[in-house]
Amino acid sequence: MAGTAPRHTDGEGVDGGVGLTALLVAAARAIETHRHDSLAQDAYAEHFVRAAPACAQWPVRLQQVPDGDDNPLWGRFTRYFGLRTRVLDDFLLRSVRNGTRQVVLLGAGLDTRAFRLDWPSDCVVFEIDRAAVLAFKHRVLTDLSASPRAKRVPVPVDLRADWVTALTTAGFDPAAPSVWLAEGLLFYLPSPAETYLVDTVDRLTTEGSAFAFEAKLEKDLLEYRDSAIYTATREQIGIDLLHLFDKGPRPDSAGHLAARGWSTAVHTPFDYTHRHGRGPLPEPNDALEGNRWIFAHKPRP
């Protein structure tokens, strides 16, 4: 990674708000990595957690959690993130096996797929996120002497700004097939912002491209305020996810893409729990009940 990125610890980085949720996912991936039946490996994840003062005491192995898998946050919720990581890893790798050579990670956070997945040598991974988040990631990975397995292009821009110009200036080619990922992103955005993002992905993609994203279907998120996952996350690490999620009506982004000619498949996380033999199963007052993973493909002529 060329150049020296500045160090940031402000609230626009990973130390507060939505940025702190990137560290939660990193801790979950660290715990997943050390499970005997791990679905995804991320050797870098625990180093992000240890490098951020806000979460230096968080567990990075299940053995560090007194009640282990019975803990709603460090047990069930981290299994969810581990399963999600594996499913989206598989989606991206299938796309590049089919010839796609441009990968765009929207709201990349502390995603290390450029470093840990087996990419073709001519693949380019674009990581879009705020400068402070990418700077923190740069510092940690540089300290580890980590090397990406594909050409990695950080695109330091807020998704509320002109990220399209930033992406194309960084070398993205809209005329070539691409695969896009919005992992754990859209439900933080107001409905018009989600629609704009989905429209923009449609505009920037050619036939043979693909797009995976996560959505929530609940009409009223506050109905789940007392669910075990949200309560444990609030009480154990001080992250109030429901405060961070946008609580307005969600658009039908899968339907919107289908109307524009994309083929779409909508799955619950529990579908993949059954497929992989581990992961969360439905339970009463379940905060995961409305979560959907959407996989969209723009057909070739």
- pLDDT tens digit string along 148-165? 999 999 999 999 999 999
Mean pLDDT value across residues 4-20: 57
Q: What pLDDT is attached to residue 15?
A: 77
Mean pLDDT value across residues 241-262: 95
Query: What's the pTM value of the predicted model, to 2 decimals?
Result: 0.94
Q: What pLDDT is attached to residue 10?
A: 36
What confidence category does residue 26 fall into, taking pLDDT thresholds of 50, 70 and 90? Answer: very high
C-alpha separations of 196 from 191, 203, 208 in Å: 9, 10, 21
Q: Enter the tokens of residue 81.
A: 């993130």
Query: In this model, does residue 4 exceed pLDDT 50?
Result: no
Per-residue pLDDT reduced to its tens digit, 76-116 = 999 999 999 999 999 999 999 999 999 999 999 999 999 99
Name 37's Cβ contacts closer than 8 Å, sequence gap at least 6: 278
- Please give the Cα distance from 282 to 267 (Å, whole number): 14
| CA-based end-to-end distance of the chain | 38
What confidence category does residue 301 fall into, taking pLDDT thresholds of 50, 70 and 90? Answer: confident
Length of the chain: 301
Q: What pLDDT is attached to residue 80?
A: 98
Is the CB of residue 66 less than 8 Å from the CB of residue 50? no
Q: What pLDDT is attached to residue 220?
A: 87
Per-residue pLDDT reduced to its tens digit, 33-55 = 999 999 999 999 999 999 999 99
Of the candidate CATH numbers 3.40.50.150, 3.10.310.40, 3.40.50.720, 3.30.360.10, the domain formed by 17-297 belongs to: 3.40.50.150
Name 27's Cβ contacts closer than 8 Å, sequence gap at least 6: 45, 46, 49, 55, 58, 59, 60, 74, 78
Is the CB of residue 259 less than 8 Å from the CB of residue 202? no
Residue ranges per structural domain of the chain: 17-297
Q: What pLDDT is attached to residue 14?
A: 83
Per-residue pLDDT reduced to its tens digit, 169-180 = 999 999 999 999
Average pLDDT, the chain: 93
Is the CB of residue 23 less than 8 Å from the CB of residue 9? no
Query: In this model, does residue 25 exceed pLDDT 90?
Result: yes
Return the closest-CA partner of residue 31 out of 70, 69, 88, 87: 69
- Please give the Cα distance from 270 to 76 (Å, whole number): 12
Which of 88-97, 214-223, 239-248 is most confident? 88-97
- Please give the Cα distance from 72 to 291 (Å, whole number): 17
Q: What pLDDT is attached to residue 197?
A: 97
Q: What pLDDT is attached to residue 12?
A: 56
What confidence category does residue 5 fall into, taking pLDDT thresholds of 50, 70 and 90? Answer: very low
